[in-house]
Amino acid sequence: MKKILFFLLIFSLANSSTNRPFIWVDDENYKPLIYRSKNGKPAGIFNDILTEIFKRLNIPLKKAVYPWKRAQKLVKEGKADGMVTVYTKERQKFMLATAPIWYINETLFFRRDNPNACKLLRVNSFNELKNFIIVETLGSGWSKEQFEKFGIKKVIWVPNTESAFNMLAKKRADVYITSNSYALEFLKNKKNISNPLYKDYEEIVGITPPFIKLPFRLLIRKDSPYAKLIPKINKILKEMRKDGTYQKIANKYYSKSPLF
């Protein structure tokens, strides 16, 4: 009888971890993809997609948003199960990835009066950015990987997007690479006369077409009890595309729905 109770206890402990919620943390300032809403809760496209995924899995979802660098730290330390971002080589060391849940168009932004504006308009690869001063936000793992790969040294790291665009506005950097939809939303709110840098912000433009399209995936720690759910999550992602759920989410945030 004691042996039976012992094995029942071990079985219970082995499965208790999956009874807890999936803990997802992400960026608090990446609108409309993921951000902190006025009530302090996560909101945006990624929030809507993950909420639907875990609803269909019938698994509780615990979610929170933080400054991006801190969110990544929480996942790396094992205090959260996953995050939504690009699957870099560094992240592959301790995380597994689902199929893409969204594609992000990354665009080069610069001042139109930059002396090298014509050269920037012709840039098609990171290799062509070596001679420019690039500004980037802390925690941008994918960008860091590209800078190291192509030997780009002239990089200024700043805390957030506002700081990055201020560097462009003040002519302290040549170019900032970021999500097109996010940047346009941000710039729209900054191009008003109440902003002391209003006239400088008017000079900031983005290159068309986008510099690169990046697949964003749900990354789950390899040691998370939920890592085994990736095949089920991929199946649900396909179902959501077929049944129109993705289109409804896209329509909620975009007048012209991007590829997803």
Of 95, 91, 98, give the one whose Cα is nearest residue 46.
98
Q: Is residue 11 part of a domain?
A: no
Looking at the fold, whether 87 and 113 belong to one and the same domain comes out as no
Looking at the fold, whether 191 and 218 belong to one and the same domain comes out as no
Is residue 260 very low, low, confident or very high in pLDDT (cuts 50, 70, 90)? low
% of the chain beyond a pLDDT of 70: 91
Q: Is residue 151 part of a domain?
A: yes
Q: Is residue 5 part of a domain?
A: no
Q: Which amino acid is at 28?
A: E
Write the CB contacts of 230 (distance below 8 Å, at least 6 apart in sequence).
Answer: 96, 97, 98, 220
Looking at the fold, whether 205 and 223 belong to one and the same domain comes out as no
Q: Is residue 193 part of a domain?
A: yes
CA 201/CA 174 separation, integer angstroms? 14
Looking at the fold, whether 76 and 115 belong to one and the same domain comes out as no
User: What's the chain's average pLDDT?
Assistant: 89
Please give the structure tokens belonging to residue 164: 């990055």
Looking at the fold, whether 171 and 185 belong to one and the same domain comes out as yes
Looking at the fold, whether 109 and 234 belong to one and the same domain comes out as no
Highest mean pLDDT among 157-166, 185-194, 230-239: 230-239
Q: Is residue 249 part of a domain?
A: yes
Q: Is residue 258 part of a domain?
A: no
- Which residues make beta-bridge pairs with 233? none
The answer, yes or no, to whether residue 180 has pLDDT greater than 90, is no
Is residue 2 very low, low, confident or very high in pLDDT (cuts 50, 70, 90)? very low
Looking at the fold, whether 93 and 131 belong to one and the same domain comes out as no
Question: Can you give the pTM of this predicted structure?
Answer: 0.83
CA distances to 6, 9, 11, 13, 15 from 2, rounded to whole Å, are: 6, 10, 14, 17, 20
Q: Is residue 138 part of a domain?
A: yes
Q: Is residue 12 part of a domain?
A: no
Residue 220 sits in a domain of what CATH number? 3.40.190.10
Note the pLDDT of residue 3. 44
CB atoms within 10 A of CB 183: 21
Looking at the fold, whether 122 and 202 belong to one and the same domain comes out as yes
Write the CB contacts of 194 (distance below 8 Å, at least 6 apart in sequence).
Answer: none
Looking at the fold, whether 59 and 84 belong to one and the same domain comes out as yes
CA 22/CA 26 separation, integer angstroms? 13
Of 195, 227, 4, give the one whose Cα is nearest residue 96.
227
Looking at the fold, whether 109 and 202 belong to one and the same domain comes out as yes
Looking at the fold, whether 170 and 206 belong to one and the same domain comes out as yes
How do residues 194-235 score in pLDDT, each as one tens digit?
778 889 989 999 988 889 999 999 999 999 999 999 999 999
Domain hosting residue 147, numbered range: 105-212
Counted domains in the chain: 2
Please give the structure tokens belonging to residue 190: 């900054």
Looking at the fold, whether 157 and 226 belong to one and the same domain comes out as no
**Helix ranges (DSSP H) in the chain:** 2-16, 45-57, 68-76, 89-92, 117-121, 141-149, 161-169, 180-190, 198-201, 230-242, 245-253
Beta strand pairing call for 212-221 and 95-111: antiparallel
CA 76/CA 72 separation, integer angstroms? 6
Q: Is 191 exposed, middle or buried (0-12, 13-18, 19+ CB in 10 A)?
A: middle
